[in-house]
Amino acid sequence: MLTVHSMDQTRDDHGLSRRAFLQTSLQIGTLGCGVLSLPQLLRAKAADPQQAGSRSHKSVIWLWLAGGPTHVETFDPKMTAPSEYRSLTGEATTPLPGITIGGSLNRLAKVVDKMAIIRSFAHNDSSHGSATQRLMTGYNDRTNMRPSLGSMLAHSFGTTDPTSGMPTYVRQRSISGDGPGWLGTNYGPFNPSGPARTDMDIQVSTARLADRRNLLGQLDRINRQFDAAGQMQGMDGFEQQAFNLILGSAPRAFDVDQESTATRERYGAGLGRSLLTARRLAEAGCSFMTVSYGGWDMHSGILRGFQGGRSEQVDQGLSALIEDLDDRNMLDDVLVVVTGEFGRTPKINARGGRDHWGRLCTLALAGGGFSMGQVIGKSSARIEEPVQRRLTPQDLIATILTMYGLDYRLQYVNNQGRPTYLIEDGQPIAELI
């Protein structure tokens, strides 16, 4: 929640406070900043010598299928495997000769030529919590102090874009292990809905949205009055950046109702709305966004689960996102990542489900300026493990850091005062670069 206070009730001839600026108080969970105001955080960023690097124009939209999506019914149907292993939803053909994906993803299948499917992604961890940490940070750190990829970027580029006022790192719903760790709370994700709760969503009611638009209108009027008074120029530079976060492109970027009806219908409701928000944030200058969409812990009834609308939302929303980014010539600058904490057991259990399986996981990418239209790696005949080109979460993170123009072997000083590599074993995925 953003709370705005007037700093001085003394008025000048323009009806404004003489000090003429708004102080923004960002509550815990909004920017992960504790009790610090945004101007204080921007000052801290400028004082940090590691913030000197230039900001990349690249963005990541990370679709997190929470619970552990089956790799078989998504991107590796393996219809040549015995019936108790192969995809329960069959397969869907793609523009790539001989390449199919899960049979409930027909719309997504049509854009696979704009994707890279990785069928050899693994980390051997079948626990929800530690596997999620591995994906978010590259490590299973029991102290939960390793910084996530989004926080690495916030630290490298600064917490906000100084031009647009957009936060560097935004999450839609919390993901375990997605925080700043020992980098410090300044570099945590921005939460559009306020403090992280598992039942929160980016969507807001019409009445609440109208209230926000009314507030934005008032702030726009204040902004014009400040400009007329010439007082914006006299503000502390960091306070002006804080002001820009409120009055700049950021509030509008979160409002998907500014899109046409046709565009909103193209993406669909639920997940589609969140993915459309992410596209708008990327357009506005946000560097890293996570979209969490749960319900993939399917120990029973996979066929029922996929036919119940969950895969339909992924099929519609994700395909719309990739097509929309391509239509807007944004696909080279925006990388879409699709994954979850692990895959599922290759053999279907007695309840028609699949259990936890870290020996082979789900991963697909689109865009980012990388080489698309390919399948990387190969799984075993029964979809149990990689048999060709095993890749890990650290390889994925190293690849993304390279996309941003950062050294994937970058070091930061940890909470014990020691220079620490954020990625120790990973290498950029050569087939993509």
Q: What is the pLDDT of residues 346-392, one digit of tens each?
A: 999 999 999 999 999 999 999 999 999 999 999 999 999 999 999 99
Q: What amino acid is encoded at 248 in this protein?
A: G
SS3 380: coil
How distant, in Å, are the alpha carbons of 123, 132, 290, 379 from that of 140? 10, 8, 20, 24
Q: What is the pLDDT of residues 262-272, one digit of tens each?
A: 999 999 999 99
pLDDT at residue 275 is higher than 80: yes
Question: What pLDDT score was predicted for residue 351?
Answer: 96
The pLDDT-based confidence of 253 (bands split at 50, 70, 90) is confident
Average pLDDT, the chain: 82
- Of 102-111, 254-263, 391-400, give the lowest mean pLDDT range: 254-263
- Of 3-12, 72-81, 154-163, 314-323, give the lowest mean pLDDT range: 3-12
What count of other Cβ atoms lies within 10 Å of the Cβ of residue 27?
Answer: 15
pLDDT at residue 424 is higher than 80: yes
Question: What pLDDT score was predicted for residue 62?
Answer: 98
- Average pLDDT for residues 387-413, to the nearest whole number? 95
- Of 62-71, 129-138, 416-425, give the lowest mean pLDDT range: 416-425
429: left (phi over 0), alpha (psi -120 to 50) or beta: beta
User: What is d(CA 382, CA 293) in angstroms, rounded to the nearest whole number?
Assistant: 28
Could you list the beta-strand ranges (E) of 146-287: 169-172
Question: What pLDDT score was predicted for residue 6?
Answer: 32
User: What is d(CA 52, CA 46) in angstroms, rounded to the nearest whole number?
Assistant: 8
- 82-96, 158-172, 295-309, 406-420 — which one is most confidently predicted on average? 82-96
Q: What amino acid is encoded at 398 in this protein?
A: A
Question: What pLDDT score was predicted for residue 245?
Answer: 55
Phi/psi at 382 (5° precision) = -110, 20
pLDDT > 90 in the chain, percent: 62
What count of other Cβ atoms lies within 10 Å of the Cβ of residue 142?
Answer: 9
- Average pLDDT for residues 16-31, to the nearest whole number? 34
pLDDT at residue 242 is higher than 60: no
Tokens 């399917």 identify what position?
298
pLDDT > 70 in the chain, percent: 74
- Of 31-40, 57-66, 389-398, give the lowest mean pLDDT range: 31-40
- Average pLDDT for residues 309-329, to the nearest whole number? 95
Q: How big is the chain by its Cα radius of gyration, in Å?
A: 22
The residues with which 292 forms a beta bridge, in sequence order, are 64
By C-alpha distance, which of 306, 165, 167 is closest to 248?
Answer: 165
Measured distance between the N- and C-terminal CA atoms of the chain, rounded to whole angstroms: 40
The pLDDT-based confidence of 222 (bands split at 50, 70, 90) is low
Q: What is the pLDDT of residues 80-106, one digit of tens each?
A: 999 999 999 999 999 999 999 999 999
Residue 413 neighbours by CB under 8 Å, 6+ apart = 419, 420
By C-alpha distance, which of 309, 317, 264, 323 is closest to 291?
Answer: 317
Q: Which helix (H) or strand (E) holds 265?
A: helix 261-267
Provide the sign of the torsion angle of the four alpha carbons 104, 109, 112, 117, taken in this order: positive
User: What is d(CA 245, CA 251) in angstroms, rounded to the nearest whole number?
Assistant: 8
CB–CB of 20/6 below 8 Å?
no
The pLDDT-based confidence of 16 (bands split at 50, 70, 90) is very low
- Average pLDDT for residues 12-33, to the nearest whole number? 34
Domain residue extents for the chain: 55-204+260-421
By C-alpha distance, which of 72, 114, 123 is closest to 374?
Answer: 114
Pick the CATH number of 55-204+260-421 from 3.40.1350, 3.30.1490, 3.40.720, 3.40.50: 3.40.720
Question: What pLDDT score was predicted for residue 14?
Answer: 34
Write down how long the chain is. Answer: 433
pLDDT at residue 246 is higher than 50: yes
SS3 111: coil
Question: What pLDDT score was predicted for residue 20?
Answer: 33
Question: What pLDDT score was predicted for residue 270?
Answer: 94
- DSSP letter for each residue of 117-186: EES-B------HHHHHHHHHHSS--TT--SPPHHHHHHHHH-SB-TTT--BSEEEES--TT-S-GGG-GG
Question: What pLDDT score was predicted for residue 307?
Answer: 80
- Average pLDDT for residues 10-39, to the nearest whole number? 36
Between β-strands 59-64 and 288-292, what pairing exists: parallel, antiparallel or unpaired? parallel
- Of 147-156, 194-203, 328-337, 403-412, give the lowest mean pLDDT range: 194-203
Between β-strands 22-26 and 288-292, what pairing exists: parallel, antiparallel or unpaired? unpaired
- Average pLDDT for residues 212-217, to the nearest whole number? 57
More confident residue, 12 or 257: 257
More confident residue, 421 or 247: 421
Q: What is the pLDDT of residues 154-209, one digit of tens each?
A: 999 998 887 777 889 999 988 989 999 999 988 999 887 654 333 334 444 455 54
How distant, in Å, are the alpha carbons of 135, 137, 221 from that of 415? 21, 16, 44
User: What is d(CA 342, CA 69) in angstroms, rounded to the nearest whole number?
Assistant: 7
pLDDT at residue 329 is higher than 80: yes
- Average pLDDT for residues 213-222, to the nearest whole number? 58
By C-alpha distance, which of 72, 77, 74, 70 is closest to 105?
Answer: 74
Q: Which helix (H) or strand (E) holds 304?
A: helix 302-307
pLDDT at residue 214 is higher than 70: no
